[in-house]
């Protein structure tokens, strides 16, 4: 940030250090001169994760059917479960 504070040109600073403007401005917005930990990488883990809406019994049954019908697991499971099977079978 010293280089940037001397010339006040973000693009020139990027060229000088060989980094992309996106990276520079991300660091610049995050930078706090009194707390250098602000430049450390932040966690990329989502803050919230949706819970599965498929009942555990249905998941177990679907996985069992998939092992029984390996070439076309979804088609095989759908034919055995019948028309009342839940939509999430496509995502498992």
Look-up of token digits 């998941």: 59
Q: What is the residue range of 27's domain?
A: 2-33
> CA separation (Å) from 27 to 20, 46, 84?
11, 21, 52
Residue 41 lies in a domain: no
Note whether residue 89 is domain-resident.
no
How far apart are alpha carbons 81 and 61 in whole angstroms? Answer: 9
Note whether residue 46 is domain-resident.
no
> What's the whole-model pTM score?
0.39
Residue 42 lies in a domain: no
Could you report the per-residue pLDDT of 45-88, keeping only the tens digit for each?
Answer: 888 888 888 888 888 888 888 788 766 555 655 566 666 665 55
Q: Is 48 a domain residue?
A: no
Contact of 14 with 4, CB cutoff 8 Å: no
Q: What contacts 75, CB < 8 A, 6 or more positions away?
A: 69
87 assigned to some structural domain: no
Say if 38 falls within a structural domain.
no
In a domain, residue 47? The reply is: no
Q: What is the pLDDT of residues 6-56, one digit of tens each?
A: 777 788 888 888 989 888 888 888 877 788 777 777 787 888 888 888 888
Total domains in the chain come to: 2
């Amino acid at each position: 940030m010293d280089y940037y504070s001397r010339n006040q040109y973000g693009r020139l600073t990027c060229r000088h250090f060989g980094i992309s403007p996106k990276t520079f401005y991300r660091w610049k917005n995050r930078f706090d001169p009194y707390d250098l930990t602000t430049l450390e990488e932040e966690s990329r883990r989502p803050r919230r994760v949706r819970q599965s809406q498929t009942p555990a019994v249905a998941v177990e049954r679907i996985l069992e059917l998939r092992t029984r019908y390996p070439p076309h697991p979804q088609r095989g499971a759908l034919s055995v479960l019948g028309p009342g099977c839940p939509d999430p079978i496509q995502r498992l």
